[in-house]
């Protein structure tokens, strides 16, 4: 018998001061049996960073050629394609051909090596943006993980504050591409 996904529910109150996005969201995350809780929480952070009524979780791990999150415009065109982790450069080229904007939220010990190995190829993709999380960002994010989450998120000047009833964490994604400055 195949293992089923574990469902995580979140009630999210968002104040994105940088983008002028405010509201209540209720993302539901299906954690694939082969997905770590860390990766699932990075997907939730990706949702927080790009929150929009039209942003939806893709099938990700279980479906090749589909992102972790995406947003379609009213005509059905993929406006935003978001992957978490360290995707293959060829897959990112394909995504850049299909979507107006592609975002990668890189994390993990291998992330700096992935960046160096792919620097030249990724720099040629004009609609690609790469953000990265540190190990301390990941550890902080994991403190909020629960099957049922009630979170508040405030985003301002590149900082993300996430809080539940007892804990507040600050996460500052690093912008790797395009290069800051």
Q: Give CA–CA dist 10/180, Å, rounded.
A: 32
Tell me the whole-structure pTM to 2 decimals: 0.94
Mean pLDDT of the region 41-59: 95
Predicted confidence band at 2 (pLDDT cuts at 50, 70, 90)? low
Residue 81 lies in a domain: yes
Contact 82, 68 (CB under 8 A): yes
1 domain-assigned: no
Domain span at 173: 6-177
**pLDDT of 179 higher than 90:** no
**36 is a domain residue:** yes
- What average pLDDT is seen over the chain? 94
At 74-118, the pLDDT tens digits run 999 999 999 999 999 999 999 999 999 999 999 999 999 999 999
The label of the residue with tokens 């539901």 reads: 28
The total domain count for the chain is: 1
Predicted confidence at residue 3, as pLDDT, reads 77
Q: Under DSSP, is residue 103 helix (H, G, I), strand (E, B) or coil?
A: strand
- CATH code for the domain in which residue 147 is found: 3.10.640.10
Give Cβ neighbours of residue 156 (< 8 Å, ≥ 6 apart).
17, 18
Average pLDDT rounded to a whole number, residues 49-71: 87
Q: Is residue 64 part of a domain?
A: yes
User: Which structure tokens are listed for 34?
Assistant: 């082969």
Q: Kindly state whether residue 124 falls inside one of the protein's structural domains.
A: yes
Nearest by Cα to 56 from 19, 35, 29: 29
pLDDT at 63 over 90: no
The pLDDT tens digits for 116-127 are: 999 999 999 999
Q: Which residue in 129, 95, 5, 105 sits closest to 59, CA to CA?
A: 5
pLDDT of residue 181: 42
Neighbours of 33 (CB within 10 A): 11
């Amino acid at each position: 018998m195949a293992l089923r996904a574990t469902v995580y529910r979140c009630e999210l109150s968002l104040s994105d001061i940088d983008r002028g996005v405010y509201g209540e969201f209720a993302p539901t995350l299906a954690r694939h049996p082969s997905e770590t809780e860390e990766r699932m929480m990075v997907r939730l952070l990706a949702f927080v960073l790009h929150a929009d009524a039209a942003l939806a979780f893709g099938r990700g791990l279980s479906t090749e050629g589909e992102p972790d999150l995406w947003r379609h415009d009213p005509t059905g065109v993929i406006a935003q394609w978001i992957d978490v982790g360290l995707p293959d450069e060829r897959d990112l080229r394909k995504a850049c051909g299909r979507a107006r904007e592609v975002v990668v939220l890189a994390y993990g010990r291998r992330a700096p090596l992935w960046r160096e190995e792919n620097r030249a190829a990724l720099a040629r993709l004009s609609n690609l943006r790469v953000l990265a999380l540190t190990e301390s960002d990941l550890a902080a994010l994991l403190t909020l993980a629960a099957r049922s989450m009630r979170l508040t998120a405030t985003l301002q000047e590149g900082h993300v504050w996430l809080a539940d009833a007892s804990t507040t964490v600050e996460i500052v994604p690093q912008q790797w591409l395009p290069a800051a400055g």
